[in-house]
Structure 1
């Protein structure tokens, strides 16, 4: 090969090895390898471009990317879905998950909380169960979602606790509720048991460790400190996922998980929480499924997971500029075991 050919093939090896490590990293509790959970789409597209390049220039060189792409497909799955939702009636259960960034809007505005705008959106979409991360004290001080007779927030009005507020609203009776505390973290998790028809459903509302990265400060920050902070966040996410999974294993009734994982579906945290559960976007979603732009790169970090006996009828990603996250909603059919 020419010098150019050797350079291209060298880069091909680097991107192929990175994608292969990403396939392995999702099953390993390694904070260092967790960095590879974020750029998986870039690695896939890069290897596909290498494959096309070698197909046109030197076909015998395409096998490296071809094999890695096949391995990646069966290990990681597709990050683009082409599903269509099923018809459903009023008896179906609609569950929404939304990180509302403290009602501060997007771009963030600390002076004018957009409580009415978010309340109007939720009233229009009319979910039966609503899980909100980064709820915000504006919601505690005001009766925002009046259509929901049952609710649970992890802090009370006037509380001096420090942490990210979580809220769960329900049209169905809440018969049990509680918090799951994350050690050395402002993030957290809560849960409720909802009496739905003849069944009791355990609904988890999760907000795993934030990456604490602000694009405006990147140029002013030393790279070693940035990488160290990211690695620490990934390690905490993995510990938190283990804690939640242990908690879930002790629940005997059907479970629904609404989560801002602050990581993608290619992470250890996602795999640990999902296991045999269904990802509603994978089952009935369509398109790329972006829920946030991370450094202007679209990522899917918000999820709704359901137990196998809960049928996913539809999934929707909303394109609304009410927060840095975009809301998601799943329509479910609960198969009663009674």
Structure 2
């Protein structure tokens, strides 16, 4: 730090801390939350750490100081993280007669508790679905006691199913030949699956709703939360999510079908949870064909991508669409796929 004035030295110390935290975050996908739950919390702040390091890089670069190298090197080391947060190149959708589409949307109980001022949220969601006509549709926070009817679709858990938790459903224009639920213990959350026949192929589709941290998105309400309480909530959530993902992986290992995993992970692409679900045989449809930030959750501080459509590597992702309609605290996503 020779040659730097006192104020610049303080800025570089802060820069070094932020760079160090981002560097640490690169190993978080390989650390089970049960082992280091407190450290796993850092994964939620990765977008901010990337942004701060980019600002520090520009700050030192404009001042023609070699200190710009610190953030530059750390950012380059985590280039895949940046690519996961923001897709710089727009991928043009590929038209193919073999294409089919998969949509996922956390509908937040169709605005049952009037979080949004509109009284017609449910009707607007149905209109969106009918306009887009996805071939496969997974919905989270869905009320089986207040079901929707979609003409031309088969469904699993579209209405109350004995022994299956409410909260999720899968609709499909293709026949559903088998289905079921992974009942997560001590929670209202679960995962469901449907085996869907498309032509000569059977595809297994999962819909996830992993444990939620329950953190407030409203700024004023969030101010009332202590940092200790927030950390405790997130630590507990990540541990529960690890248990839930382990149940999923055990279930998935017994299937030989090509797999599509959709839903609300309540975690980011920088987490251990995401890496375990992705595994070696799935790919992220947003990273394949999306663009921009890919924000799927209405969080006021920075763009959060916590809803995913992950697909077997035998699928080609020919398109990805993120909708901006404000019909929930989540935004719908749709992938256009082709099976080799």
Question: TM above 0.5, one fold?
Answer: yes
Corresponding residue for 1:248? Answer: 252
CA contact (8 A) 1:154 1:190 kept: no
Number of aligned residue pairs: give it: 330
Give the C-alpha shift of residue 75 in structure 1: 5.9
Do structure 1's residue 127 and structure 2's residue 134 form an aligned pair?
Answer: yes
Give the C-alpha shift of residue 105 in structure 1: 7.4
| Whole-angstrom CA distance in 1 between matches of 2:118 and 2:58 | 51
Using a 3 Å threshold, how does the CA distance of structure 1 residues 105 and 10 change in structure 2: closer, same or farther?
A: farther
Using a 3 Å threshold, how does the CA distance of structure 1 residues 310 and 246 change in structure 2: closer, same or farther?
A: same
- Give CA-to-partner distance per residue, 1:176-213, whole Å, 9 cap, x none: 10100112221110001001100010000001111101
Q: Following superposition of structure 1 onto structure 2, how do residues 158-169 of structure 1 map, counting pairs within 5 Å? A: 165-169=167-171
Do structure 1's residue 318 and structure 2's residue 320 form an aligned pair?
Answer: no
| Range that drifts further, 57-66 or 173-182 | 57-66
CA contact (8 A) 2:41 2:231 kept: no
CA contact (8 A) 2:160 2:166 kept: no
- Give CA-to-partner distance per residue, 1:241-272, whole Å, 9 cap, x none: 22212222221010001021111111111111
Do structure 1's residue 66 and structure 2's residue 69 form an aligned pair?
Answer: no
Using a 3 Å threshold, how does the CA distance of structure 1 residues 13 and 105 change in structure 2: closer, same or farther?
A: farther
| Whole-angstrom CA distance in 2 between matches of 1:111 and 1:327 | 18
Corresponding residue for 1:28? Answer: 31
CA contact (8 A) 1:105 1:324 kept: no
Unmatched runs of 5 consecutive residues or more in structure 1? none
Q: Following superposition of structure 1 onto structure 2, how do residues 12-91 of structure 1 map, counting pairs within 5 Å? A: 12-30=15-33, 31-57=37-63, 59-74=65-80, 77-81=83-87, 82-91=89-98
Using a 3 Å threshold, how does the CA distance of structure 1 residues 80 and 111 change in structure 2: closer, same or farther?
A: closer
Using a 3 Å threshold, how does the CA distance of structure 1 residues 295 and 107 change in structure 2: closer, same or farther?
A: farther
Q: Following superposition of structure 1 onto structure 2, how do residues 109-188 of structure 1 map, counting pairs within 5 Å? A: 109=116, 112=119, 114-137=121-144, 139-140=146-147, 143-148=148-153, 150-153=154-157, 156=160, 165-188=167-190
| Whole-angstrom CA distance in 2 between matches of 1:296 and 1:75 | 19
* Cα RMSD for the two superposed structures: 2.3
| Whole-angstrom CA distance in 2 between matches of 1:165 and 1:19 | 36
Give the C-alpha shift of residue 147 in structure 1: 2.6
Do structure 1's residue 262 and structure 2's residue 266 form an aligned pair?
Answer: yes
| Range that drifts further, 322-331 or 130-139 | 130-139
CA contact (8 A) 1:115 1:138 kept: no
Give the C-alpha shift of residue 113 in structure 1: 6.0
SS of the residue aligned with 1:330?
A: strand
Give the C-alpha shift of residue 160 in structure 1: 9.5
Q: 1:275 aligns with which of 276, 279, 282?
A: 279
Corresponding residue for 2:99? Answer: 92
| Whole-angstrom CA distance in 2 between matches of 1:172 and 1:217 | 44
Give the C-alpha shift of residue 136 in structure 1: 1.6
Using a 3 Å threshold, how does the CA distance of structure 1 residues 221 and 42 change in structure 2: closer, same or farther?
A: closer
| Whole-angstrom CA distance in 1 between matches of 2:42 and 2:123 | 39
Using a 3 Å threshold, how does the CA distance of structure 1 residues 155 and 236 change in structure 2: closer, same or farther?
A: farther
Give the C-alpha shift of residue 90 in structure 1: 4.6
CA contact (8 A) 1:189 1:205 kept: yes
Give the C-alpha shift of residue 5 in structure 1: 1.5
CA contact (8 A) 1:315 1:330 kept: yes
SS of the residue aligned with 1:132?
A: strand
SS of the residue aligned with 2:115?
A: coil
Unmatched runs of 5 consecutive residues or more in structure 2? none
Give the C-alpha shift of residue 35 in structure 1: 1.8
Using a 3 Å threshold, how does the CA distance of structure 1 residues 105 and 301 change in structure 2: closer, same or farther?
A: farther
